[in-house]
A and B are shown apart, each in its own frame.
Chain A
């Protein structure tokens, strides 16, 4: 008996949580199909930006750069994407600009951390403060996005009973893109030459360097790919999910994404699963608010995601091993 309790480790805890989630879902589904579908679908909608934001963290950290400037990256790209879309009356141009902004922001971050060897946490903080300062000064009220994105059903998958209606139908293009991108990042990290080199640079840059891999270039590129994804998420939130830009709209999302990355052990699929779970919890909370659960104050529902983030880290942070070189600038000439 004692042994059973002792073997009740973290893995089985996670397993039981997933079983419980599925059971709850089936129960809810049988109770009220429409509401359940809408909760699950909005869970996906909440979860996807978080999942993509944690991909930014994964791209950077697997190559050895801690990026706490995800907030700033998203903020700036959401800003430029939204206003360019609004002025050009074209959301596609807006999204492209958002992605470019993300690349540019992460380029500044990469210069500070990789080229100049600045403390990575301070560099990220500066990116965040700079982004907040720029966007709040340049912010103008009253702009709108010209049109909305088309919505797709995935041909076969959307017909799957139970899952299809909530997971695979009525998806925006960026939802779709995320579903493709996240597995693609996993394959890239684990199966390709690029991935092997990225991981080696994040674990032991000295080893990579002696194998003829250009550590600086590898890190710069990965951080900028991360920036492109960050730009995409920022654009996605302002152009699709919310449909407007508001000051400091990120409100801690970038940090939550980092927590989910740690919880998912720097594995894209793990972080994705964690993000979706997180999204579902948020969707459920919102649904409860809509139902008017009067005896729970509004503020306590709003702070739930933050409490959850801390809990997630308290249960996972000490037990996982980050990429060994994350946070350490690489200096080539050591005597």
Chain B
């Protein structure tokens, strides 16, 4: 009997000029967990989106249980028993859990939705898979871990044969990740085939039956966890031997340059998100803020950089109280800011690379003299930056949108690290970029720290925090719950703290 569940044959997809998928073939058997491994931009997401009908491939066929499914048709994919949990949750925040789960296949009497039946079916599902949730809760009020649970339930309700999980662990605590891996094992033992996308090697080795590695849109190899090590997989993924050449000397911390005292900040929904946080940052150190996303890190960074008003408490920069100042004033005090969401906050997509390189200095000499801007000065400065920070572009006149994620981030880094700042606040500085750029950015941060700059590094990647921080502050529920030394700390301890356990 044929146990092949999914068969992808010679699938290709090109976006504009980028070959996202280049002639990829792949099989998944019943009850098998296949890990799709690859760097950001390797084409993992595009491949699974093609399977789920969210992207229409240029060529190639997708067969499930022997039947060819129509390309670019989500409804058909769902009919064929394919479910998907997206990296960015596909939930309607203002609706209830039950409404989100039934969406698209609502229990009904005539045209009317039967809410009693909906609640019942949600309860049934959560009992069956041990994923407890309140069907009447409004999704936007739930923590991220529970929102993911809604996503998984949504997929499971459709009696899936194949479940696709796109970077499901990015937003979870180590403990939550453990639970999720358990759920995956459960599902596969019930015969569900699973495609699990990640770039975290540890998880791959823990849960996969088979590992497929993508690089630059091509399938470059298959492996099993037994015959692989983290470094063999990394080499396959990157295409060269990886030596993490971090040039990390001993830190020489100096005076306190940023002092936060009992700070309170509200989020977009007017809920208190930073809850009486105190912290001090020294010159010449990298202080890593570890924590699961949504514990107030974003609001903290936005408050410290003047982008978000504070409610109570205060903070001072180089001894000067900085509460209530706008981004321009704080920038002038010597604070650089690498924002979490570079597309939304850090760059203006349709402006040129040159303009973006001076975005927050457009008024300063030599880029402007009074009211009049000096475009020639902007261009020649930008040319130097493009060279120095190795931004891959034929010219700075192109819109920033023409660059890849890693190169866009280099533009932000170039701008923020070339301004003689005393403090660099970097939020998720390596999110969504290739390993080469990550290495580059880490070395830049270390170089700044060695020259006496204070770096506040906020990151959801524990590995990043562990590898370059001099001190680690664990943030939970809007507070710093522990300050740790990276030399004598283990992952499980940090993981427990990130999940709210007391020390």
Interfacial residues, chain A to chain B (CB-CB below 8 A) = 188, 191-194, 196-197, 199-200, 203-204, 206-214, 324, 332-333, 335
Contact = CB atoms under 8 A, between A and B. Distances in A.
B74 interface: yes
Contacts, number: 83
Given A192-B112, A332-B55, A332-B72, 4 more contacts: A194-B111, A204-B92, A210-B52, A210-B90
Contacts of A196: 95, 99, 102-103, 106, 113
B104 A206 contact: no
3 interchain residue pairs of minimum CB distance: A211-B104, A212-B75, A207-B90
B475 interface: no
14 contacts: A188-B111, A192-B111, A196-B113, A199-B92, A203-B95, A204-B90, A204-B92, A206-B90, A208-B103, A210-B74, A211-B104, A212-B75, A213-B103, A335-B45
B319 to A, nearest CB: 36
A3 to B, nearest CB: 19
Nearest to B76: A212
B104 A213 contact: yes
Interface of B: 15, 18, 20, 45-46, 52, 54-56, 72, 74-75, 78-79, 84, 86, 88, 90-95, 99-100, 102-106, 108, 111-113, 154
A193 B112 CA distance: 6
B103 A332 contact: no
**Interface majority SS (helix, strand, loop, mixed), chain A:** helix
Contacts of A188: 111
A335 B15 contact: yes
A212 B111 contact: no
A204 B86 contact: no
Nearest to A213: B104
A333 B111 contact: no
A262 to B, nearest CB: 17
A85 to B, nearest CB: 33
A196 B95 CA distance: 9
Contact of A210 (B86, B95, B102, B105): B86
A81 B321 CA distance: 68
A12 B361 CA distance: 47
A199 B84 CA distance: 22
A198 to B, nearest CB: 11
A191 B95 contact: no
Most buried by B among A209, A211, A213: A211
Most buried by B among A200, A203, A207, A332: A207
A275 to B, nearest CB: 24
B112 A209 contact: no
Nearest to A323: B94
A188 B111 CA distance: 9
B92 A207 contact: yes
Contacts of B111: 188, 192-194
Contacts of A324: 93-94
A257 B315 CA distance: 47
A193 B118 CA distance: 12
A193 B113 contact: yes
A192 B18 CA distance: 43
Given A210-B90, A333-B56, A200 B103 contact: yes
A332 B75 contact: no
Contact of A191 (B52, B84, B92, B112): B112
Given A192-B111, A192-B112, A214 B75 contact: yes
A199 B95 contact: yes
A142 B49 CA distance: 61
B18 to A, nearest CB: 8
A210 B53 CA distance: 9
Contact of A212 (B46, B93, B104): B104
Contacts of B72: 332
B54 A332 contact: yes
Contact of B93 (A191, A192, A203, A211): A203
Given A200-B95, A203-B93, A208 B104 contact: yes
A193 B108 contact: yes
B53 to A, nearest CB: 9
A188 B74 CA distance: 25
Contacts of B75: 212, 214
A196 B96 CA distance: 11
Given A191-B112, A209-B74, A210-B86, A204 B52 contact: no
A208 B102 CA distance: 11
Nearest to B43: A335
B237 to A, nearest CB: 19
